[in-house]
A and B are shown apart, each in its own frame.
Chain A
Amino acid sequence: MTFASIAAVTTTLILVAVFLALVLNLDQMARNIEQDVQISTLIELTADEDQIVELGEEIEQIDGVAEVQFSSNDNELKSLIDSMGDDGQAWVMLEQDNPLNHVYIVEAGIPEETEAIANQISELDSVEDVLYGQEVVDRLFQFNNYARAIGMALIIALVFTAIFLISNTIKITIIARSTEIGIQKLVGATNSFIRWPFFVEGALLGILGSITPMAVIVGGYYYIYHNLPGITNTFRFIDLLPFNPFAWQLSGMVLLIGAVIGVWGSVMSVRKFLKV
């Protein structure tokens, strides 16, 4: 029974840790991407120079716009070719007859306003299209919200299972000592005097249960953090939270949750034995 309850805490906490590491990192990523979100305003091919300048001024006047930068179609083609590396050579021949639009690259002061600004820009004259990465970000945040809700439900269920197992373990100790507790109360012991050894027992079960998860966090996160850069280079936004302090903070949190589970379990089982 003791082993079962420690194992339950261990399982719960490992899942809590994996889940927290995942969600917190995904959140961080979404925020990273969001910071980088720019609005590309594609200017109509038919627009003349005056119209382009006018459009630039109009965009600057929109509330929340932090920066507006003009990028000619030649410039756009060049960066496209650069970004494709060797494959880009195929596009070089287009230099003579550039099919791309001139572009205003717009950045919002606050990332959350990107969408609203993009909508306003698309209403303006001489705008062919407005492209921005917000949909990706929104979807990521949405995914995160789902993941969080499901994970939370799972974790709450697990936490209660662990609490239940701990409270049962402690109940066995208490039943074995119930006459003793009764006598202690008759001699004038307060409830807290009687409770504290069970508190300690519960907290100890919780803390014992969190040792393995903490080792898993520190070891696992160290490994992932130092082996992921290979992937990170390909997807620049995958920027994991730094091992130090994140792994330590997560371990601390897991230890705390473990102790709380243990103490809670003991409180639940002691309460009804104190009525003497």
Chain B
Amino acid sequence: MITMENVSKTYSNGVTALNDINIHIDRGEFVYLVGPSGAGKSSFIRLIYREAKPTKGKIIINGRELSKIKERHIPYLRRDIGVVFQDFKLLQKLTVYENVAFALEVIETSPKSIKRRVSEVLQLVGLEDKAKMIPSELSGGEQQRVAIARAIVNNPKVVIADEPTGNLDPDTSWGIMEVLEDINSKGTTIIMATHSKHIVNTIKRRVIAIEDGNIVRDQQRGDYGYEV
């Protein structure tokens, strides 16, 4: 599903965020990305949906090498990947409902199915009664849940979540984890960057640990492994 071969990423300011990464993630896997702040987790994620391009190496997604995909086909790649951005990236002028609906509008879903699907997802993340609010009227955790709703609303093949529980209280965090586990059980691949020792050690899954741009550990049913 997702393969990286000798992938390095050096930003234009000279910082090398990832260094010769080799990894393979199968369809339907649930993967935690762990590692200290600044280790390169977000950079790893950005390469997958092509917000950033690797400086070196090959990235293959669904059998297609990213560097060989034509610029105008990139939107279609991104529609198969739902991303929960670390900074949410919500459209500030749109309501919660519209933000989530947006991911369906760009793929030209019929208005009727948009309505049904968005309500469904908002209920799933527990925001059905805040549908008409705009992001600035929401708490950080609520905004995060809007971002999660938007990422999963079009049933993507892969969901990449960059610290999706970073701003949530334990209860809501478990709620979100339930949602992610649920869509994972239906076949969606999940990649989740997290600093939550508690979650990683409780819901045991594959753990990929990145430090200083290198993969230092890749373990099925692994531990968080860092003291908090």
Contact = CB atoms under 8 A, between A and B. Distances in A.
Given A190-B106, A193-B106, A183 B76 contact: no
Contacts of B68: none
Given A186-B89, A187-B102, A188-B75, 14 more contacts: A180-B91, A180-B93, A183-B89, A183-B91, A186-B51, A186-B83, A187-B78, A188-B78, A189-B75, A190-B72, A190-B75, A191-B72, A193-B106, A276-B51
Contacts of B51: 186, 276
Interface of B: 49, 51, 72, 75-76, 78-79, 83, 85, 89-91, 93, 102-103, 106-107, 150
A25 interface: no
A187 B106 contact: yes
**Size band of the interface chain A makes with B:** 10 to 19
A185 B91 contact: no
Interface of A: 180, 183-191, 193, 276
B91 A188 contact: no
Which 4 pairs of residues, A with B, have the shortest CB-CB distance?
A: A188-B79, A188-B78, A189-B106, A190-B75
A28 B226 CA distance: 88
B75 A185 contact: yes
- Chain B CB within 10 A, most for which of A183, A187, A188, A276: A187
B94 to A, nearest CB: 9
B72 A187 contact: no
A174 to B, nearest CB: 15
Nearest to B150: A187
Contacts of B76: 188
A180 B89 CA distance: 9
B106 A184 contact: yes
Given A191-B72, A193-B106, A276-B51, A186 B91 contact: no
A189 B49 CA distance: 13
A185 B72 CA distance: 11
B12 to A, nearest CB: 14
